Chain A
Amino acid sequence: MDVVSQLQRQFIDYSASLHREGFVDDQFTQLQKLQDENSPDFVVEVASLFFEDCEKLINNMARALEQQQGVDFKQVDASVHQLKGSSSSIGAMRVKNVCINFRSFCEAQNREGCLRCLQQVTHEYSLLKSKLQTLFRMQPSMMAVDCVLLSLVGLGNRSVV
């Protein structure tokens, strides 16, 4: 396909790089598959919801961890659990991995560890947010690009890109 338009190629490459760098995994691809003429903005909607959720949860966790007189680890754990669920639903791999670590620190009631993880989570989340926003900006020929992506990925592992 050496005549594919620049934009489409860009999108493909960018998406591939997200995959490769571990920002998103297969689940994200699944979500993209769900996007069709009936729900053309499915991925965007889910992603926005995810961002909102994330920010809320991160704020909760920050407040809980800042408590000087005894951190309520149960609450933190609950939030982390939520975050883990959300990130795995959307396919945000890196965020999910940080959450897994976060949980073990919570169980160990390690405040320092938790704070570090929180920092990491925040960092990963913002990275992902910017990447996804870039991706969504490339969207105009989303439909056709989707199909290209679908064909490239769906036609099995013989595809390179």
Chain B
Amino acid sequence: MESCNCIEPQWPADELLMKYQYISDFFIALAYFSIPLELIYFVKKSAVFPYRWVLVQFGAFIVLCGATHLINLWTFTMHSRTVAVVMTTAKVLTAVVSCATALMLVHIIPDLLSVKTREVFLKNKAAELDREMGLIRTQEETGRHVRMLTHEIRSTLDRHTILKTTLVELGRTLALEECALWMPTRTGLELQLSYTLRQQNPVGYTVPIHLPVINQVFSSSRAVKISPNCPVARLRPVVGKCMPGEVVAVRVPLLHLSNFQINDWPELSTKRYALMVLMLPSDSARQWHVHELELVEVVADQVAVALSHAAILEESMRARDLLMEQNVALDLARREAETAIRARNDFLAVMNHEMRTPMHAIIALSSLLQETELTPEQRLMVETILKSSNLLATLINDVLDVSRLEDGSLRLDLGTFNLCAVFREVLDLIKPIASVKKLHVSLNLAPDLPEYAIGDEKRLMQTILNVVGNAVKFSKEGSISITAFVAKSESLRDSRAPEFLPVPSDNQFYLRVQVKDSGAGISPQDIPKLFTKFAQAQSTATRNSGGSGLGLAICKRFVNLMEGHIWIETEGLGKGCTAIFIVKLGIPERLNESKLPLMPKVSSNHGHTSFSGLKVLVMDENGVSRMVTKGLLVHLGCEVTMASSSDECLHVVSHEHKVVLMDVCVPGMDGYEIAVQIHEKFTKRHERPLIVALTGNTDKATKENCMRVGMDGVILKPVSLDKMRSVLSDLLEHRVLFEAI
């Protein structure tokens, strides 16, 4: 045993205690040595460990502690100085390292703790995010539901389907027990149960609309929770003690068409709402979630829109059906009218022909009969027959004319004509009759009256004739005067016809014709009747003179067609009357420029003057034919030279002749040869007369032959006066004329 300086007496080494200490020290050392090994091992394993330095320190600390304890093992027994030194060194080192570690830990432990805190924080955050994710998912699902619902609702335009689908889909999406729709009745005072989800046939419950709960729902656009016991929610008999689920109600605006103004979107202040009530399953402890309520509100809006679309569609379908019906009816009416018109026209056409033929026969034969030997009674009878049939003929003509006029299908045949000639013709027509009645007829044409005018010559003449004829008819004695002049604006107006507003223009003028007679006159109250069909003035004087009463009506129509006006002035019974009419006529342009259409019927009446002095050579072997052609040309004012053979023709023809008319109907080619020889004779084109062939042949060969030999035209015989006239003008203007054969 070594000597020690300890004060206390050394205990006697207890063997057991010593042994335990020995063992403990050993194990401690072991533990201490293994801890760092473990640490190193696990740290090596782990990728992330920020505190290596600390670890080393700690490892060192532990190792040294272990070393200390280990060395302590030797100090139980007598130990040498080396051991003591080693022990001391170890302890010193241990002290140093542990102090260093302690110091280090002061820094490190807060860090470690804060890591912990962060960890907790992150966990919380994760939980929160999870929650939110859940929410978003729910919302997205809701959105999907809404879209799906909307799609379902909007996929149909039928009102019932819309509503039914809404309820069904809502029921499915939200797993409802019951879903019901209350619609306002017509009176607007009650709500009627219209659709339910589960019950197939709603029994037509009604509730008054002014319940407080209903008002509450209607006043807000949100879904409102209501009590399950209120009348709108009590749809089923309450069975047993089940707790009814929560009930929510939302308003569905019913929009009317009239709510949609163009610049004025409808506010939801429309008065009509329907009520949708949704019930969660009873006994389910489910609650209405916010997103579900939102879903319900959105759906309610969509339903409103879909319903309004359906309403619009219904309206337009109805309108279209109505239109179609009307169209069909109109079509039918039109076809009927057309049939009627066609029937009438056919009838008229038939009447026209069929009635005239026998009339013709009657009149002709009775007049022939008159010429034969007859007893006085027979003669009287025949005269009566003739008179009546003449009357009938006039009546037929007039009626047929009037119906054509009524038809509106009458159009004026406009053409240029000689105005003065018309009056002269009327005069000539009337003179014989007037002279028999010992009436004096005088015609005064104003000097400024144009010689030619554009208008319907026939109808104008008819009108004048009718008016003058009436004057003659109704005058027993005295005189008739016809005056015609160009009406200036003052004389155009008739105070009795304020709607007649003549507007003269540059190439038109108004012709005013006055026919004054000294006959029996007409009483003023009869005047309006004169121009109506079939009405006759009732005085006996007029009745005896006959007449169908249509003449003046026809004249009025014609005058109206010519944009004019006709009326009668009278001083009273016995003082005669004056018939006055004004018609609008056109002023033709210079005649020689023949811009007028040349139609065979309407004689573009250049009159004699445009052909005056025109030298024409007529070659025809046939004497009669020659004479007739000459007569035609002379009537038109031409100077005619005749040739009866081809030789004579060639002999006589000169550059003075402007036209050569030759008959090529002769057998053989004479006519054509002449043409060739004329061509040879006159080399210069402007000196050569125009050569025109007259032929009765209607075949193409003739025409081709004529063209081949250089003729300037071909005319088909027989030639009427009008045709000759138009042919000559055409020829002179165009220098060629080939009539269609």
Contact = CB atoms under 8 A, between A and B. Distances in A.
Interface of A: 1-6, 8-10, 12-14, 16-17, 20, 26-27, 30-31, 33-34, 36, 38-39, 42, 45-46, 49-50, 53, 77-78, 81-82, 84-91, 141, 143-144, 147-148, 150-151, 154-156, 158-161
30 contacts: A2-B391, A9-B386, A13-B364, A20-B360, A20-B364, A26-B720, A27-B718, A27-B720, A30-B632, A38-B635, A39-B631, A42-B631, A49-B624, A53-B624, A81-B665, A82-B622, A85-B622, A86-B624, A87-B624, A88-B717, A88-B718, A89-B629, A90-B624, A143-B428, A144-B428, A147-B429, A148-B432, A151-B461, A155-B461, A160-B393
Contact of A9 (B367, B428, B663, B718): B367
A22 to B, nearest CB: 14
B623 A86 contact: yes
A125 to B, nearest CB: 13
A34 B721 contact: yes
A31 B635 CA distance: 10
B359 interface: yes
Contact of A81 (B400, B437, B635, B667): B667
Contact of A151 (B359, B387, B465): B465
Contact of B364 (A39, A81, A161): A161
B400 A31 contact: no
A4 B627 CA distance: 33
A128 B621 CA distance: 23
Contacts of A46: 624, 627-628, 631
Contact of A49 (B387, B623, B696): B623
Given A17-B364, A155-B461, A4 B433 contact: yes
Contacts, number: 141
Contacts of B431: 144
A4 B367 contact: no
A118 B387 CA distance: 43
A154 B601 CA distance: 11
A34 B623 contact: no
Contact of A10 (B371, B625, B629): B371
Contacts of B621: 82
Nearest to B473: A3
- Classify the secondary structure of B's interface with A: helix
Contacts of A53: 622-624
B311 interface: no
Given A10-B371, A141-B432, A90 B390 contact: no
Contacts of A82: 621-622
Nearest to A144: B432
B425 interface: yes
A30 B623 contact: no
Interface in B520-570: 546
Contacts of B428: 143-144, 147
A2 B548 CA distance: 13
Contacts of A88: 625, 696, 717-718
A155 B364 CA distance: 19
A49 B363 contact: no
Nearest to A158: B397
- Classify the secondary structure of A's interface with B: helix
Interface residues of B, number: 54
Contacts of B629: 89
A4 B720 CA distance: 29
B198 interface: no
Interface in B610-634: 621-625, 627-629, 631-632, 634
Interface string B367-391: 1101100000000000000110011
B631 A161 contact: no
B628 A90 contact: yes
B458 interface: yes
B151 to A, nearest CB: 77
B655 to A, nearest CB: 27
B396 interface: yes
B361 to A, nearest CB: 8
Interface string B454-476: 00001001100100010000000
B368 A86 contact: no
A161 B393 contact: yes
B437 A39 contact: no
B455 to A, nearest CB: 15
Nearest 7 A/B pairs, CB to CB: A13-B367, A86-B624, A160-B393, A89-B625, A85-B622, A89-B628, A147-B428
Greatest chain B CB density within 10 A among A20, A30, A77 is at A30
B353 to A, nearest CB: 10
Contacts of B658: none
Contacts of A81: 665-667
B622 A89 contact: yes
Contacts of B469: 1
B356 interface: yes
